[in-house]
């Protein structure tokens, strides 16, 4: 005998689309926003010094910590390829609280363990957190308004990273919290709100039959179905996965070493710079994704999103050139390269694969390809940080960021065009 439906769920089933959208966006946005309080605050600290590693040599201590967390986060993405794609709706909310609880426990152990051995707990912190995005997006995908819902969810990590770093620096500067304890304290601040909004997310009703007719039914995928999907569209998916390695690394450098970049630009004494410069980025990306809702035809929308993403990566190179020529100041430079990067990056987590599945008519879940690209993306991020440490050790972070901006712009724009051409031809044959 099935359990009675919660009154809020029953109301949302018949609520106007504006009300439903507002509820879903607030719940999803706030859930993922809170997750960042358990992942990113530690990057607001400098963690000066180096660590000697066998067979490797001296590694910058902050790079060592970031790589430790990213390795755990990357493994989580590979685990998530199976876990998220097979996860049923009834278990998602409990899974979100469980994995974030493990992450907070790891931050507590990080705080009391001496360096460099505390790095193992940042690895364990990242290991569960990589699955949160897929668990949250599973509540939103496969709906006629998935672009709007995905845009609202995606805005969370654009803004959240800056906000939680500002909170972390505030604890460091105004309350004298140690660098090691600060990440755990930020997590404690955000956990009560997290529990509330995860419960709100749990009350969302599933997609309706009308949603399924418009966007193709979404079901968990077993290993054979995942393999069949990849082999069917291997060339296009390869272009997207390859470029995403560079795009993820670029976004990570801008995010994880924002403290060092802003210091070099002369804004190191302003903790709020992390937060307020991300607001126009989030607004711009939200507008771009929301406009995709006006494109009803799935094939046309898939091509439009490719064009939008290619435009974002091209913008990175153009803006960087303008900054070097003295046409743009530091703040417009950081805001505009952030806008270009996120305009290309965000659709991977919400719109791109949702529309791709709807275009090709493959019964699947968008979470699968989101996690494939994410997993390889963070592998690229680790590779770039190691290259910086050992190949460009004497280059400051701002100079490295400028060089990497040009490389990311060129490689990603070319691959986006190639992927767009491939899927244009494949979808025309469908």
| pLDDT tens by residue, 24-47 | 999 999 999 999 999 999 999 989
Q: Which helix (H) or strand (E) holds 50?
A: strand 50-53
Q: Is residue 304 part of a domain?
A: yes
CA distance 38 to 280: 24
Give pTM, 2 decimals: 0.80
- Reply yes or no on whether the pLDDT at 219 is more than 70: no
DSSP 2: P
CA distance 323 to 318: 9
Q: Which residue, chain included where needed, has tokens 């417009």?
A: 332
Predicted pLDDT of residue 243: 97
Q: Is residue 207 part of a domain?
A: no
Closest C-alpha to 352, from 21, 280, 343: 343
pLDDT tens digits, 296-351: 888 899 999 999 999 999 999 999 999 999 999 999 999 999 999 999 999 997 78
Out of 158-162, 228-232, 314-318, 358-362, give the one with best mean pLDDT: 314-318
Q: Is residue 211 part of a domain?
A: no
What is 93-126 written as a DSSP string?
A: HHHHHHHHHHHHHHHHHHHHSPTTTTHHHHHHHH
Q: What is the 3-state secondary structure (H, E, C) of 400-424?
A: HHHHHHHHHHHHHHHHHHHHHHHHH
CB 125 within 8 A of CB 38: yes
Q: Is residue 43 part of a domain?
A: yes
pLDDT classification of 1: cutoffs 50, 70, 90: very low
Instruction: Pull the structure tokens for residue 337.
Output: 């390269």
pLDDT tens digits, 174-186: 999 999 999 999 9
- Reply yes or no on whether the pLDDT at 268 is more than 80: no
Q: Which helix (H) or strand (E) holds 80?
A: helix 61-86
- Reply yes or no on whether the pLDDT at 132 is more than 70: yes
Q: Is residue 141 part of a domain?
A: yes
The length of the chain in residues reads 430
CB neighbourhood size of 402 (10 A)? 17
Q: Is residue 245 part of a domain?
A: yes
Q: Is residue 178 part of a domain?
A: yes
Residue 193 DSSP SS3: helix
Mean pLDDT of the chain: 90
Angle, CA 168 vertex, CA 166 and CA 171 arms, to 5°? 110
Q: Is residue 324 part of a domain?
A: yes
> What is the extent of the structural domain holding 387?
9-202+218-429
CB 412 within 8 A of CB 243: yes
- Number of domains, the chain: 1
Angle, CA 75 vertex, CA 199 and CA 417 arms, to 5°? 95
Angle between helices 330-345 and 298-324 (to 10 degrees): 160
Instruction: Pull the structure tokens for residue 62.
Output: 């902050």
- Reply yes or no on whether the pLDDT at 420 is more than 70: yes
- Reply yes or no on whether the pLDDT at 404 is more than 90: yes
CATH of the domain at 50: 1.20.1250.20
Predicted pLDDT of residue 2: 45
């Amino acid at each position: 005998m099935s359990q009675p439906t919660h009154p809020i769920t029953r109301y949302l089933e018949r609520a106007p689309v504006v009300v439903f959208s507002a509820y879903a966006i607030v719940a999803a946005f706030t859930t993922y926003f809170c997750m960042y309080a358990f992942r990113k605050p530690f990057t607001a600290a400098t963690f000066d010094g180096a660590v000697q590693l066998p067979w490797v040599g001296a590694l910058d201590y902050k790079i060592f910590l970031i790589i430790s967390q990213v390795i755990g986060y990357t493994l989580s993405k590979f685990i998530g390829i199976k876990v998220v794609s097979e996860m049923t709706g009834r278990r998602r909310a409990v899974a979100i609280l469980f994995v974030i609880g493990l992450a907070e426990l790891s931050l507590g152990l990080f705080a009391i363990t001496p360096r460099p051995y505390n790095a193992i707990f940042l690895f364990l912190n990242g290991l569960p957190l990589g699955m949160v995005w897929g668990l949250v997006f599973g509540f939103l995908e496969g709906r006629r308004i998935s672009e709007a819902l995905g845009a609202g969810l995606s805005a969370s990590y654009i803004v959240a990273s800056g906000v939680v770093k500002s909170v972390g620096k505030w604890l460091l500067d105004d309350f004298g919290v140690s660098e090691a304890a600060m990440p755990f304290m930020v997590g404690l601040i955000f956990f009560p709100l997290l529990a509330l909004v995860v419960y709100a997310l749990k009350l969302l009703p599933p997609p309706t039959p009308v949603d399924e007719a418009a966007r193709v039914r979404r079901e968990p995928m077993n290993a054979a179905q995942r393999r069949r999907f990849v082999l069917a569209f291997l060339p296009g998916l390869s272009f997207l996965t390859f470029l995403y390695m560079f795009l993820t690394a670029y976004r990570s450098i801008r995010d994880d070493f924002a403290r060092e970049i802003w210091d070099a630009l002369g804004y190191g004494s302003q903790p709020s710079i992390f937060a307020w410069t991300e607001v126009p980025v989030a607004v711009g990306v939200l507008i771009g994704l929301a406009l995709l809702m006006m494109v009803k035809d799935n094939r046309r929308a898939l091509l439009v999103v490719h064009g939008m993403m290619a435009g974002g990566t091209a913008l990175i190179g153009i803006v960087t050139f303008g900054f070097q020529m003295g046409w743009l100041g530091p703040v417009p430079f950081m805001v505009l390269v952030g806008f270009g990067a996120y305009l290309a990056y965000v659709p991977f987590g919400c719109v791109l694969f949702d529309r791709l599945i709807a275009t090709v008519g493959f019964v699947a879940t968008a979470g699968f390809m989101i996690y494939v690209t994410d997993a390889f993306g963070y592998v690229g991020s680790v590779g770039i940080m190691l290259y910086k440490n050992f190949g460009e050790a004497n280059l400051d972070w701002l100079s490295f960021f400028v060089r990497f901006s040009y490389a990311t712009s060129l490689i990603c724009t070319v691959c986006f065009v190639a992927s767009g051409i491939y899927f244009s031809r494949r979808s025309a044959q469908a």
